[in-house]
C-alpha cells in the first residue's frame, strides 16, 4: 500500500510517502518522497499546504492517507483508526487538550477527505504510552477522579521510532525529543514507563512557545486575577517557553546567534530550557534505575552542536561526556550518530525520529488481526 503520511506538528508540516510492505525492512530507506514545510503556523495554512502536496503527489498514485493526531481522545491507546464522521466528532471533543495540534489535524483531515475517496487514517501519538504503570499515569488527586484526568503522554511516534532504531539490547533507554514540543520518555525493555508530558502536551519540559510544568496554583492565580480561560490558554501554549522568555523568537536558529551577540533574554531562555532538561535527565535515570543509552532526537538537536552542548555538556556526574570531535560538527545529523566519548559511562547518541515511518507502521499494525490496541 502506498501511504501518504502527513505530520502536522506545532511548527512544521512533515510528510512522507511510504510503501507499507517495506516499512519494517532494514533495507535502505523505503522512501518514495519526503519533505517538510517549515515555519508554518495556523490550521488553514497547514491544511492548504497539505492539499497542495496531495494534489502534486496525485490521488491516483496513492492508496491511502495517514494523519498524525497528537491527542487520540477516546482512541488514545490505539495505534490508528480510519477516519469517519464519528471519529472526527470524537476528536473535535478533545481539541482543547492539544490546541496547537488537534484543530490543525482536523482541518487537514477535513480538507483531504473533501478531496478524495481514499481511506484516511488518524494515527495517534499517544499509543506508545499505554504501558505507563498506574503509579506514573495517576495524578495525586482524589482517587475517584478516575481515568479521565490522567497522564497520557505524547511524542509516542518519535520515542518508539528512536527506540526501534537503536540497539535493542539496551534495556534502559532515556529518549529526549526536541521539536516545537519537547519531551522525555523512559523506556524499559521497549516499553514506555515514564514520560514528561501529561494529560496534554503542555506538561513537562519548557518548549518553543509552551511553558511546560508550572505550579498549578499559578494557573488559578492568573484566572483569579481576571484573565479569561482563553487568555491563559494562549499564554501557556503560544506565548511562553523560549518565545515568552526571550521576547524574540521561539526558534533556536534565532536565539543561539542572539545569545552569542549578548542578548541576555535569549541567553536566559536557553539557560532555562537546558536547566529543565538537566532536571528531567536526573529524574529519568532515577526512574529507570540507571540508563544504558541516552538518545536525542528532533529538529533542535539535529544540526546544532552548540545546542547539544548546552543540553548535555555539564553532566559528567551522570557519566555523560560528549566527545568534542563527534559532537562539534556543522552538518545536519541524518543517521544514528554516537556523540559520547569512549570513556563516558553513558552512551549518548543522536537518533533521527522517523515519525512518518512509524505512522505507516502503526497503520499496518492496527490492521493486523492480532492488534492488541484495537
Ligand atoms: N534546523 C531546524 N529545522 C527546523 N526546525 C528547527 C531547526 N532548528 C530549530 N528548529 C525549531 O524546531 C521546530 C520544528 O521542530 P519539528 O519537530 O520539526 O516540528 P514540530 O514541532 O512542528 O513537529 C521549529 O518550530 C523551530 O522552532
Ligand atoms: C506532541 C508535540 O508537542 O508535538 P510537536 O513537537 O510535533 O509539536
Ligand atoms: Mg514534531
Instruction: Quote the cell numbers at residue 73.
Output: 481522545
Atom of ligand 1 nearest to the CA of 39: 25
Tell me which ligand sits closest to the C-alpha of residue 11: 1
**pLDDT tens column, 52-84:** 999 999 889 999 999 999 999 999 999 999 999
Residue 9: is its pLDDT beyond 90? Answer: no
Q: What gap in Å lies between CA 351 and CA 294, rounded to an integer?
A: 10
Cα(248)–Cα(109) distance, integer angstroms: 33
Question: Does ligand 1 come within 6 angstroms of the Cβ of 99?
Answer: no
Cβ of 212 less than 6 Å from ligand 1: no
**Which residue is closest in CA terms to ligand 1's atom 5?**
299
Report the percentage of the chain scoring pLDDT > 90. Answer: 89
3-state secondary structure of 255: helix
Specify burial of residue 121 (Cβ count, 10 A radius: 0-12, 13-18, 19+).
buried
In tens, the pLDDT along 79-103 reads 999 999 999 999 999 999 999 999 9
> Ligand 1 pocket: which of 7, 11, 270 to mutate (most atoms <8 Å of CB)?
11
User: Do 121 and 224 touch, CB atoms closer than 8 A?
Assistant: no
CATH architecture of 2-128+359-367: 2-Layer Sandwich (3.30)
Angle between helices 43-57 and 102-115 (to 10 degrees): 40
What is the rounded CA–CA span in Å between residue 203 and residue 239?
15
For residue 40, pLDDT beyond 60: yes
**Ligand 1, atom 1: closest residue by C-alpha:** 299
For ligand 1, atom 27, name the residue with the nearest CA: 251
Pick the residue whose CA is nearest to atom 6 on ligand 2: 181
Q: Whose CA is nearest to atom 2 of ligand 2?
A: 181
pLDDT confidence bin for 25, thresholds 50/70/90: low
166/133 Cα distance (integer angstroms): 23
Question: Cα(336)–Cα(352) distance, rounded to whole angstroms?
Answer: 6
| Beta strand 172-178 pairing with 293-297 | parallel
Index of the ligand 1 atom closest to the CA of residue 7: 23
Q: Is the pLDDT of residue 26 over 80?
A: no
- Residues 293-330 have pLDDT tens digits of 999 999 999 999 999 999 998 899 999 999 999 999 98
Q: 214: CA distance to ligand 3 center in Å?
A: 22
pLDDT class of 370 with cuts at 50, 70, 90:
confident
- Tell me if domain 2-128+359-367 and domain 134-350 are identical in fold: yes
Share of the chain above pLDDT 70, in %: 98
Task: Give the residue with greater pLDDT, 145 vs 358.
Answer: 358
Ligand 1 neighbourhood includes 267 CB (under 6 angstroms)? no
ipTM of the complex: 0.95
| Mean pLDDT for all residues in the chain | 95
Task: Determine if ligand 1 sits within 6 Å of the CB of residue 352.
Answer: no
Helix H segments across the chain? 43-57, 85-92, 102-115, 134-137, 156-165, 216-224, 229-238, 241-246, 252-260, 264-288, 299-302, 305-312, 324-327, 355-367
Centroid of ligand 2 to alpha carbon of 198 (angstroms): 13
Long-range contacts of 234-240 (CB under 8 A, 24+ apart): 236/202, 236/210, 236/211, 237/99, 237/100, 237/202, 237/209, 237/210, 238/100, 238/209, 238/210, 239/209, 240/209, 240/210, 240/211
Confidence of residue 139 (pLDDT cuts 50, 70, 90): very high
CB 127 within 8 A of CB 156: yes
> Is 355 part of any known ligand binding site?
yes
- At residue 124, does pLDDT exceed 90? yes
pLDDT at 369: 76
Which residues have any ligand 2 atom within 6 Å of their CB? 9-10, 70, 125, 154-155, 179-181, 201
We find that the CATH architecture of domain 134-350 is: 2-Layer Sandwich (3.30)
Rounded Cα distance between 260 and 264, Å, is: 9
β 119-124/80-82 pair status: antiparallel
Could you tell which of 67, 154, 241, 358 is best to mutate to test the pocket of ligand 2, judged by most ligand atoms within 8 Å of the CB? 154
Question: How do the domains of the chain map onto residue ranges?
Answer: 2-128+359-367, 134-350
Between the CA atoms of 210, 211, 217 and 223, what dihedral angle is there, to the nearest 10 degrees? Answer: -50
pLDDT at 31: 61
CB of 8 shorter than 6 A to ligand 1? no
Would you state the pLDDT for residue 275? 98
Q: With a cut of 80, say whether residue 115 has pLDDT above it.
A: yes
Q: Is 71 annotated as a binding residue?
A: no
Amino acid at each position: 500500500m502506498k501511504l501518504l503520511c502527513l505530520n502536522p506538528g506545532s511548527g512544521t508540516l512533515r510528510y512522507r510517502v511510504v510503501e507499507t510492505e517495506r516499512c519494517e525492512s532494514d533495507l535502505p530507506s523505503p522512501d518514495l518522497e519526503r519533505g517538510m514545510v517549515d515555519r508554518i503556523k495556523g490550521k488553514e495554512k497547514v491544511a492548504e499546504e497539505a492539499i497542495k502536496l496531495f494534489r502534486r503527489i496525485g490521488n491516483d498514485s496513492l492508496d491511502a492517507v495517514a494523519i498524525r493526531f497528537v491527542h487520540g481522545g477516546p482512541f488514545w491507546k490505539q495505534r490508528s483508526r480510519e477516519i469517519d464522521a464519528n471519529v472526527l466528532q470524537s476528536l473535535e471533543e478533545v481539541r482543547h487538550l492539544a490546541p496547537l495540534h488537534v484543530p490543525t489535524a482536523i482541518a487537514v483531515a477535513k480538507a483531504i477527505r473533501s478531496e478524495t475517496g481514499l481511506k484516511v487514517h488518524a494515527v495517534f501519538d499517544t499509543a506508545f504510552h499505554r504501558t505507563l504503570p498506574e503509579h506514573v499515569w495517576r495524578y495525586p488527586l482524589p482517587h475517584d477522579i478516575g481515568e479521565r484526568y490522567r497522564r497520557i503522554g505524547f511524542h509516542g511516534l518519535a520515542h518508539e521510532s528512536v527506540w526501534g532504531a537503536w540497539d535493542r539490547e539496551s534495556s534502559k533507554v532515556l529518549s529526549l525529543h526536541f521539536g516545537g514540543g519537547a519531551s522525555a520518555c523512559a523506556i524499559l525493555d521497549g516499553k514506555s514507563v515514564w514520560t514528561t508530558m501529561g494529560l496534554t502536551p503542555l506538561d513537562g519540559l519548557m518548549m518553543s512557545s509552551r511553558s511546560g510544568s508550572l505550579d498549578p496554583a499559578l494557573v488559578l492565580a492568573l484566572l483569579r486575577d481576571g484573565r479569561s480561560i482563553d487568555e491563559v490558554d494562549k499564554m501557556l501554549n503560544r506565548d511562553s517557553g523560549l518565545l515568552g522568555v526571550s521576547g524574540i523568537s521561539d526558534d533556536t536558529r534565532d536565539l543561539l546567534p542572539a545569545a552569542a551577540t549578548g542578548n541576555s533574554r535569549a541567553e536566559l531562555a536557553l539557560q532555562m530550557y537546558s536547566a529543565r532538561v538537566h532536571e528531567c535527565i536526573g529524574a529519568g535515570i532515577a526512574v529507570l534505575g540507571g540508563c544504558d543509552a541516552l538518545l536525542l532526537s528532533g529538529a533542535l538537536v539535529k544540526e546544532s552542536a552548540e545546542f547539544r552542548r548546552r543540553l548535555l555538556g555539564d553532566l559528567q556526574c551522570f557519566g555523560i561526556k560528549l566527545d568534542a570531535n563527534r559532537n562539534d560538527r556543522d552538518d545536519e545529523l541524518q543517521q544514528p550518530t554516537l556523540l559520547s566519548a569512549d570513556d563516558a559511562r553513558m552512551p549518548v547518541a543522536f537518533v533521527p525520529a522517523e515519525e512518518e515511518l512509524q505512522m505507516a507502521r502503526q497503520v499496518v499494525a492496527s490492521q493486523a488481526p492480532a492488534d492488541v490496541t484495537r
